[in-house]
Structure 1
């Protein structure tokens, strides 16, 4: 085993191997690689994630205007959202494979995402039929958003392999609260007289934001590790030491095939399927449920905005919490919170309590948002960074089913069972996922007590 403590000229690197046989590339700083600090690869992906968030979180706020303008049946809106989520999720794995083998550089992925976003809003503004909306918004918009999402989430994890939870959560959070201005725009300003112009301007603005931020994207080299953190020793930084103790690095760099064979990745896939479906159900159904319960349109918009804000900020907070207390433990609690929140949303609405409805909406938003950065960070913890775009793409692909179930099928369940049956089914599904999360274990690492784990991190 080689040591990484010897002084090296700036810009040079060496490779070291830990007790598990994992290789780390050390010696290069972030400025050596891209000429700027690595925190820029947190801010730029964060901005890009905010730019694509309106398509999912603000879309249903435009339901009444779009339905009236195009003559679409009410269910069309929910299926449009489901198709968007389907294609947003389905591109994750193939995009990850192309990113890792060099066929799809990060900058190119972001430019394609910008083009897809523009086509999405153009189709909503000018589609002559629902087919063109499904093609433009669902296929091109969803696929483009998937390219942006996968690129941003995996990018930040590569640049912060020693403390990825909080950073991943922060970037992931932009995917929710970035939609807040558009929720109010679509509910308070957009109407039949101006909807096409509003959507056109929004589409152009978001596409420019994505194109400009993506132009500066850059991946670190494979196996890169920050030069100030020795991967073979316990760090002097208490934050790094605590994070690596609770969430030790993967024992090796797993390929997708190897990751599937561990059995943990399919379990993660199913847990995310359940929880993401519940989250999307809440996004799709909260506005019509609030309207049916008699809440004013402004209250419903406020509830949806609070849900998006807490959904986004909760992702950053939960990432920081998981760095301190462990991903699996945090995931279990988040699933419990998400499940109980579904019961609370329905009960508060059914009794007509506006304050409780707003509170329950915020709690639901927190739980629904927190699951995504947890699974993103956990995938890298379990299987390493080199193939994380592909591995997380496999996990995240569960959203292609959960999107259709949460929005389209969710609307059908509401028709068949009413809102009460639908919300209680959603809550029970999340509680079931909480039980499954207790079975998750890091592949290749024996279950040990904390002192032994610290010894593993400092084999010297």
Structure 2
């Protein structure tokens, strides 16, 4: 290898870690609208005189817009680059919080917190994931896991401050202050981002990864994509149910305000959950880079089924709620590193942002099932147990599908592509 090439590779290696750091900051800045939402459900219910299912429609709008618009957002980022679009996304997310502080109706809440935060977080999320699979062809699981961890970790820094400010100053001032701060921090980080250029010499992807890029239209005709879509929908449903309904079911179980280690169980559990939800993404991404995507999926998803089962069995114990909810998120959050890296390994990096935009729609489907429909099932049955039973079954099924259906399908597809 020539000295010039070594220097070029060294420069690209340094640059890509800087890009990962910037992506991590931007992801952290947009995580609170989703992960701290559960703290706002009761204040919005009281302020608007609405039922829990009606309030939870806001969360569904946020996730649906975050995910269902992502194919178009991914195309725009593939076409025009990440810098300006991601900055705008961060500002829109902050604006959603600021404007929702002043709403006086459900429609107003839907059009501010739901609409603006949904569009903004979607642009940022899909753009940064698409950026990382390009900068790290050799470490896609680790890189996507690291920035996706920012989306989980960000709320660690905000959960207790938001909870404290809400108690002292009310939810309106809290939304305005944090909306301004988080929007500006994310936008500043985004303005330094860029796609890898021709002068950036990056390591090659693994042998099993697709070398050529499959365009979205062709990918959408492939059964592997739809299997991944169904699997991601099932896993998203359970995680989003826990995220959006956590305060509600912990109150029903009588554990929300029980003191654990000197702190109320609800905000303590939410903080622990954000930590494990962040840690699992780079951890299982790193594991999947070494033992394979499907093997890792089977381990993580079956662990998730077991964790949710234990959470239900010990639901009236506040300490168990804190510990086991953390384990639940450790078994769930890795979907945001495993699915994009698996998709890009299968269909190539050329159209990675747009392609993942289509798969990310599964998160929106999961938000409908895990948000208002789960709340409605709780109201109809008078219990959260049927909701948890469905989630446990879907988690276990997804783990089995990864090992016994997805794995042979992907091996056959890779062999066919290599022989063509």
Q: Normalising by structure 1, what TM-score?
A: 0.83
Q: Answer yes or no: is the 8 Å Cα contact 2:144–2:336 preserved in 1.
A: no
Alignment of 1:438-449 (within 5 A): 438=403, 439-440=405-406, 441-442=409-410, 444-446=413-415
Aligned to 1:69: 47
Secondary structure of 1:111's partner? Answer: helix
Equivalent in 271, 279, 286 of residue 305 of structure 1 = 271
Q: Answer yes or no: is the 8 Å Cα contact 2:212–2:350 preserved in 1.
A: no
Q: CA deviation at 1:174?
A: 1.0
Q: Answer yes or no: is the 8 Å Cα contact 2:26–2:90 preserved in 1.
A: no
Secondary structure of 1:400's partner? Answer: helix
2-structure distance, mates of 1:76, 1:168: 34
Q: CA deviation at 1:416?
A: 2.4
Q: CA deviation at 1:397?
A: 0.9
Aligned to 1:16: none
Q: Deviations over 1:204-258 (max 9, x none)?
A: 00110111000001001379651xx4x4xxxxxxxxxxx936xx22142111122
Please list every run of 5 or more consecutive structure 1 residues that lacks an aligned counterpart in the other structure.
Answer: 12-26, 232-242, 448-455
2-structure distance, mates of 1:222, 1:436: 39
| Corresponding position: 1:51 with 2:26 | no
Aligned to 2:103: 127
Alignment of 1:38-117 (within 5 A): 38-102=16-80, 105-117=81-93
Q: Deviations over 1:307-360 (max 9, x none)?
A: 1210111111111111111111101111111222222221111xx222322222
Aligned to 1:434: 399
Q: Answer yes or no: is the 8 Å Cα contact 1:281–1:410 preserved in 2.
A: yes
Q: Answer yes or no: is the 8 Å Cα contact 1:69–1:192 preserved in 2.
A: no
RMSD: 2.3
Secondary structure of 1:303's partner? Answer: helix
| Corresponding position: 1:356 with 2:320 | yes
Q: CA deviation at 1:422?
A: 0.9
Q: CA deviation at 1:91?
A: 1.8
1-structure distance, mates of 2:12, 2:229: 37
Q: CA deviation at 1:184?
A: 1.7
Q: Answer yes or no: is the 8 Å Cα contact 1:47–1:213 preserved in 2.
A: yes
Q: CA deviation at 1:107?
A: 1.2
Secondary structure of 1:39's partner? Answer: helix
Q: Deviations over 1:240-288 (max 9, x none)?
A: xxx936xx22142111122223311111011000000111011122221
Q: Answer yes or no: is the 8 Å Cα contact 1:251–1:445 preserved in 2.
A: no
Q: Answer yes or no: is the 8 Å Cα contact 2:132–2:140 preserved in 1.
A: yes
2-structure distance, mates of 1:167, 1:32: 15
| Corresponding position: 1:421 with 2:380 | no
Aligned to 1:367: 331
Aligned to 1:400: 364
Aligned to 2:260: none
Aligned to 1:217: 193
Please list every run of 5 or more consecutive structure 2 residues that lacks an aligned counterpart in the other structure.
Answer: 258-263
Instruction: After superposing the two structures, state which structure 1 stretch, 281-290 or 263-272, moved more.
Output: 281-290
Higher share in helix:
2
Secondary structure of 2:401's partner? Answer: helix
Closer, same or farther: CA 373–222 of 1 in aligned 2, 3 Å = farther
Secondary structure of 1:139's partner? Answer: helix
Secondary structure of 1:218's partner? Answer: coil
Q: Answer yes or no: is the 8 Å Cα contact 2:66–2:121 preserved in 1.
A: yes
Secondary structure of 1:244's partner? Answer: coil
Aligned to 2:114: 138
Q: CA deviation at 1:191?
A: 3.8
Equivalent in 211, 219, 225 of residue 265 of structure 1 = 225
Q: Answer yes or no: is the 8 Å Cα contact 1:346–1:419 preserved in 2.
A: no
Q: Answer yes or no: is the 8 Å Cα contact 2:255–2:317 preserved in 1.
A: no
Q: Answer yes or no: is the 8 Å Cα contact 1:62–1:187 preserved in 2.
A: no
| Corresponding position: 1:281 with 2:259 | no
Q: Answer yes or no: is the 8 Å Cα contact 1:314–1:370 preserved in 2.
A: yes
Instruction: After superposing the two structures, state which structure 1 stretch, 338-347 or 367-376, moved more.
Output: 338-347
Q: Answer yes or no: is the 8 Å Cα contact 1:10–1:32 preserved in 2.
A: no
Secondary structure of 1:127's partner? Answer: coil
Instruction: After superposing the two structures, state which structure 1 stretch, 118-127 or 311-320, moved more.
Output: 118-127
| Corresponding position: 1:292 with 2:252 | yes
2-structure distance, mates of 1:138, 1:283: 16
Alignment of 1:132-281 (within 5 A): 132-191=108-167, 193-221=169-197, 225-226=201-202, 229=203, 231=204, 244=206, 248-281=208-241
Structure (1 or 2) with the larger CA radius of gyration: 1
Closer, same or farther: CA 264–30 of 1 in aligned 2, 3 Å = farther
How many equivalent pairs are there?
A: 406
